[in-house]
Structure 1
Amino acid sequence: MYPYGPPPGPPPRIDTRQLRPRRRWFAVAGVIAGICVGVGIASFAMTLRSAVDSVDDGEAFASGRSVTLRFGPDDDAAIYVRSPFDARAHCEVVSGPSGATPRVTTPGSTFTVAKGGDRWERAFVLKADTDADYRVRCDDPRGTLTFAPGDDADVSSFVGGVVVTVAVPLAGLLTAAGVAIIVGVRRGRHRRWLEAQAYYGPGNAPPNTSTP
């Protein structure tokens, strides 16, 4: 005899297809995470490729020699030096069109590229008011350095690419985790509500506090 009635039986079986939100939302969370991680990987590859392509090591030349480059007011031309860099290295424009005013300046920040087993440091930036061919000669006191033409690296774009590489996958993973947690919690609440309906009957079941 049970003074308070028989003990409750096992909880009723609930068909998982009845639960809300549907399980497809877990797949949506996975897709969000996958897309964001893919964007981060693509951004990393593009940023790295852009940096490597900044140096044209196939046109490298020894100290005391020169190279002909075409650049103008809208171009970002630069000269890189293969490490180790000597601060006393010097580059100058030795020929160009009459009346042109090419300028050779030192960059305000350091940018180094690893390519083909060598490290190249951006040493000089070339600017001109006239789009034309210019002959640039570079040397150093010991005559041991190797120079190479290339593009003036946009450091802000490089940093932006790194930020995208990190931020987008992180945001995607956090968003996917949030969606999965919310869906899991609501499905659990809905399961308990359906069990209560099946056990007590629709008229005696406690109110459903979830929002499927």
Structure 2
Amino acid sequence: MQPFAPPQIPANELRPGRHWYAIAAAIAVVLVVLGVLIGVYRFTNVIDTVDTDHQFANGDTVSLRLDSESEKMIWIKDRGPSAAQECSITGPGDPGLGDAGIDVFLTRDETWNPLYAIDVPRAGDYEVTCSSQGPSQYAIGDSGGIVGFVGWLILAVALPVLGIGICAVIVLVTAVRRSGHRKRLLAERHGSGGGHPVHPGPVPADGEHRPALRRS
């Protein structure tokens, strides 16, 4: 006697559709790639934050071409900002120097801290001069050193983790719901006894046919 094969439900009849697996994978890939791109982009920027190749000392004047949306800053080498350090800026409009906040930029043998944030009203050529009570070296750079990079790095790591987490949840929920849908369809189409085949009973010797018996 051949064992009875359970009825099969075509995969394309189950809900939710299998396309949710593709959606889950796409979300994971997009967020992982986005996180990697952000990390690489911010790392590339942070290593070039301060223009250490063009340093200037106390009393030196440097000329800058800036626009109104510039986020340039004055950085000082190997010394934390203090009241003993002063810088000035001249140029078109009413340029000014503001609070630079707390940050740090590191090279192989140098430590740089932001001294002033440069604020200019419009595009033009500006001149910066700095001085302090002791020998100091300055350089112009962008905002966002190591401290700013750490914030972006957290985001760059969080995005792939979020993407993988969302993917796992969607795959799990989809698989559980498809399994439940398969069971419901089997119950609806075949009933509780649908898994038992019907066999004809023996034919009596006198040739009379009797009703078939259902195997229990």
Query: CA offset at residue 34 of structure 1?
Result: 1.4
For residues 106-131 of structure 1, give each alpha carbon's deviation from its aligned partner in whole angstroms, at most 9, with x where no partner exists.
33x21323356643221112234464
User: Alignment partner for residue 30 of structure 2, among 23, 26, 35?
Assistant: 35
User: Alignment partner for residue 116 of structure 2, among 124, 127, 137?
Assistant: 124
For residues 50-104 of structure 1, give each alpha carbon's deviation from its aligned partner in whole angstroms, at most 9, with x where no partner exists.
34443222222234433221235443332111234242222223x656xx54323
SS at match of 1:182: helix
Matching of residue 58 in structure 1 with residue 53 in structure 2: yes
Matching of residue 79 in structure 1 with residue 50 in structure 2: no
TM-score by length of 2: 0.65
For residues 124-146 of structure 1, give each alpha carbon's deviation from its aligned partner in whole angstroms, at most 9, with x where no partner exists.
12234464333322233220x32
TM-score by length of 1: 0.66
User: Alignment partner for residue 20 of structure 1, among 5, 11, 14?
Assistant: 14
Cα distance in structure 1, aligned partners of 2:74 and 2:99: 10
2:198 corresponds in structure 1 to: none
- Tell me, yes or no, if the aligned pair for 1:67 and 1:137 is still in contact at 8 Å: yes
Kindly tell me: are residues 127 and 18 of structure 1, through their superposed partners in 2, closer, same or farther at Cα, counting changes over 3 Å?
closer
2:65 corresponds in structure 1 to: 70
Matching of residue 180 in structure 1 with residue 135 in structure 2: no
Cα distance in structure 1, aligned partners of 2:57 and 2:4: 85
Cα distance in structure 2, aligned partners of 1:200 and 1:30: 39
Alignment length (residue pairs): 187
SS at match of 1:40: helix
2:85 corresponds in structure 1 to: 89
Cα distance in structure 2, aligned partners of 1:16 and 1:198: 18
Query: CA offset at residue 33 of structure 1?
Result: 0.9
- Tell me, yes or no, if the aligned pair for 1:11 and 1:199 is still in contact at 8 Å: no
Cα distance in structure 1, aligned partners of 2:178 and 2:76: 62
Structure 1 gap ranges (5+): 1-8, 203-212
- Letter of the 2:85 counterpart: A
Cα distance in structure 2, aligned partners of 1:115 and 1:183: 50
